[in-house]
Amino acid sequence: MAAISENQLAHFEEEGYLVVRGLLDPEEDLDPVIREYEGVLDSLAQELCSQGRIPSTFADLPFGPRLIRLCAESGSTHAQYFDFSLPQKGIRPDTPFWAGPAVFQTLRNEKLLDAVAFFIGPEIYSNPIQHVRLKPPEHLGPKDPQTGQAQLGSTPWHQDNGVLLPTGDQSRILTVWFPLWDATPENGCLQVIPRSHRQGLLTHCRRWNGLAIPDQFLHRVEGAVLPMQRGDVLFMTQRTIHGSLPNHSEEVRWSFDLRYNPIGQPTGREQFPGFVARSRKDPASELRDPFAWYQLWKETRDRLAREADPAYNRWGAEDKVCA
């Protein structure tokens, strides 16, 4: 069982974050996900090639260079094709997502859940605010035609509490972030503002690259840059201010961005399906079937494709600090 020490828990409570080195085994825990996504990338390449959007499937290239080439040739990062969540608007019956068995097993990884239990207790719910991030180098990836910026660039300063609805404000939602390949300052690792979780929820404004905390609330603070190797895991509170650096390397930065909260507490995104990942009180309530998890997301997609776009967060453009 993964053990989080009292000193580590004290650091988490004081600083708002904790990096646990080597919590996951790269070969045992991460490589199955990489192999699964190799198949996803191959399917995307075949699809784009058949549509005439790329001249070749580039099957001779390794995963990272192949993804970069596909994105550059097609003019899109195809982020939704890989994600195990749905977009916040414009969901169609054929909106792509990937909810494969290796991803599901990662969400239920015993070492990960053992560690999560130290923060939120043994009754663990997999919160549906979750993403895979495959960020190509900004100078090699496609640009947004309206802004001229990289379609997947650096992430601005924000709190994860800021991207959910008020229903989740009092829930103990734990952010769990880890790279599938090494995350470095050059390829866009995360940075956090220590002790920022004590400020409560700050106003967020809609920017071209996502929700962001306005500069006047940041007081020119310096962030702590967090390089991480494969197997390292970052834990954060939902109010810890964090963002990512730009990817100026020649490589893809690849990470999982997960959430967990105690069973019975609101997720803050009730439109999407979560599941019981671990319950010591009622083990029979745990979801263990990866196909059933996929079906939850498929049924959600089918339902939302028939409905008007719901609200997923609380922020509008009318707040004067966002002008």
CATH code for position 71: 2.60.120.620
Residue 124's DSSP bridge partners are 262, 278
The answer to the question of residue 321 being in a domain is no
Q: Coil, helix or strand for 294?
A: helix
Q: Which of 212, 199, 269 is nearest to 242 (CA)?
A: 212
Please, are residues 176 and 116 in contact by the beta-carbon 8 Å criterion? yes
Q: Coil, helix or strand for 230?
A: coil
CA torsion sign for 193, 198, 201, 203 is negative
CA separation, residue 73 to residues 45, 48, 216 (Å): 11, 10, 39
Most confident residue range from 85-89, 149-153, 212-216: 85-89
pLDDT, tens digit (0-9, with 9 covering 90-100), for 271-299: 999 999 999 999 999 999 999 999 999 99
Please, are residues 259 and 237 in contact by the beta-carbon 8 Å criterion? no
The secondary structure of residue 145, as a DSSP letter, is T
pLDDT surpassing 80 at residue 173: yes
Total domains in the chain come to 1
Summarize the confidence of residues 228-250 as an average pLDDT: 97
Summarize the confidence of residues 147-158 as an average pLDDT: 88
Q: Which of 85, 65, 51, 34 is nearest to 300 (CA)?
A: 85
* Structure-block tokens of residue 264: 């019975």
The answer to the question of residue 322 being in a domain is no
The answer to the question of residue 27 being in a domain is yes
Beta-carbon count within 10 A of 233 CB:
24
The single-letter code of the amino acid at 9 is L
For residue 101, what pLDDT band results from cuts at 50, 70 and 90?
very high
Q: How far apart are CA 252 and CA 6, in angstroms?
A: 35
pLDDT value for 16: 98
Give the phi and the psi of residue 57 in degrees, each rounded to 5: -85, -10
pLDDT, greater one: 169 or 3: 169
Residues in the chain: 323
Q: Coil, helix or strand for 110?
A: helix
The answer to the question of residue 12 being in a domain is yes
Q: Which of 129, 121, 156, 132 is nearest to 244 (CA)?
A: 156
Give the phi and the psi of residue 190 in degrees, each rounded to 5: -80, 160
pLDDT value for 207: 84
pLDDT surpassing 80 at residue 221: no
The answer to the question of residue 189 being in a domain is yes
**In angstroms, how far is the first alpha carbon of the chain from the final one?**
50
Q: For the sheet with 224-226, list strands across it.
A: 224-226, 190-192, 242-244
Q: How far apart are CA 6 and CA 12, in angstroms?
A: 10
pLDDT, tens digit (0-9, with 9 covering 90-100), for 113-143: 999 999 999 999 999 999 999 999 999 888 8
Please calculate the CA angle 78-38-111 and round it to the nearest 5 degrees: 100
Q: How far apart are CA 216 and CA 229, in angstroms?
A: 33
Work out the mean pLDDT of the chain and round it to a whole number. 95
pTM above 0.85, yes or no: yes
Residue 293's DSSP bridge partners are none
Q: How far apart are CA 320 and CA 129, in angstroms?
A: 28
pLDDT, tens digit (0-9, with 9 covering 90-100), for 26-49: 999 999 999 999 999 999 999 999
Distance of alpha carbon 226 from the chain centroid: 16
For residues 257, 29, 38, 60, the Cα torsion angle rounded to the nearest 10 degrees is 120
Q: How far apart are CA 43 and CA 70, in angstroms?
A: 12
The answer to the question of residue 318 being in a domain is no
The answer to the question of residue 320 being in a domain is no
The answer to the question of residue 1 being in a domain is no
Burial degree of 140 (CB within 10 A; 0-12, 13-18, 19+): middle
* Structure-block tokens of residue 67: 């993804």
pLDDT surpassing 90 at residue 1: no
Q: Which residue range(s) make up the domain with 42?
A: 6-307
pLDDT value for 2: 64
